[in-house]
Amino acid sequence: MTDTTASIRRLGVTGTDTGIGKTVVTCALAARARQLGRRVAAMKPLESGIEERPVSDRGLASDAERLRAACGNVHDLSLVRPYVLVEPLAPMVAAQRAGIELSFSRLEQTRTQLESGHDLLLVEGAGGLLVPITRDVSYATFFSRWSCELLIVAGNRLGVLNHVLLTVQVAEQAGLTVRGVVLSTISDREPSVAEATNFDVLQQLLPGQALYRFPWVERADDPDALAAAAAASGMDALL
C-alpha cells in the first residue's frame, strides 16, 4: 500500500547503473539542504557489498556512512542503513545468499524513526529502478510505495542516452514523478565527444524535463565542496 499520510517530503535517488555518482549527488543534496536550513535526513535502506568499499583512517567508507556525514552525523547508522548485505550483488540476491529475509515492515518502522523532526528525506536506491529487492518488488515499486518523487542520476559516458530514456520510461510506467535528471561527471579527464554532447542531446530528447550537470568533485567527502557543487548545478530547485 502506498503511504499517503506522511507530511514529510521524500525524494528517491536512483541511478542508470552502478558507479555513476549516485551517492555523491545524494550527499551533495543533503549538504546543500543543511546550508539552506532544511531539516534533512538521508537513508540507504539496503546496502550491499560494503566489504568491497575502501577503508579510511576513520573506518569503513560505506555509502551509508557518507550519507550520515552529509546530514551532520546526527543520525544513528542503524537508521540510515537498516540492512547490511556483505556481497556486492543486487539486494534480492545478496539477501538470499546470506539467508536474510528482508522485511518491508522493518524498513518502514525504521524510516518513521529517521523522519521524526525532519521535513525532507533522501532515499538512495541501489543501481537502477528495476534492481530487485525481492522477487516481486523492484526499486520502482519501492519508491512508489513510499510516495517518493524521483531524481535520476546518470553517469556522463557513452551509452547514457539509452540508459536515461529507459529509466524515465520505467519511472513513468510506475507512476513516479521524475523531478530531475542529473548528468554526473565521473572522471576528471578531458571529455570524449559523447560526454561533451550528452547534456545537449538529452535536452532535445527530454523537452520540459529538468536536467542538471553535476561536476567532478575532487573531495567527495567534503560537505562544503559538495554543497557548492549542488548550488552551482542549480539543484536548489530540487530542495
- What are the angstrom distances between the C-alpha of 136 and each of 11, 24, 183? 22, 29, 30
Q: Of 22, 32, 44, 163, which residue is the catalytic one?
A: 44
Residue 70 sits at the vertex; the CA angle it makes with 238 and 211, to the nearest 5 degrees, is 25
63, 19 contact by CB (below 8 A): no
Helix or strand or coil: residue 213?
strand
Tell me how far apart the alpha carbons of residues 153 and 127 are, in angstroms, rounded to a whole number. Answer: 10
Whether 44 is catalytic is: yes
- Residue 208, number of CB atoms within 10 A of its CB: 5
Strands 46-48 and 83-85: parallel
- Catalytically annotated residues: 44
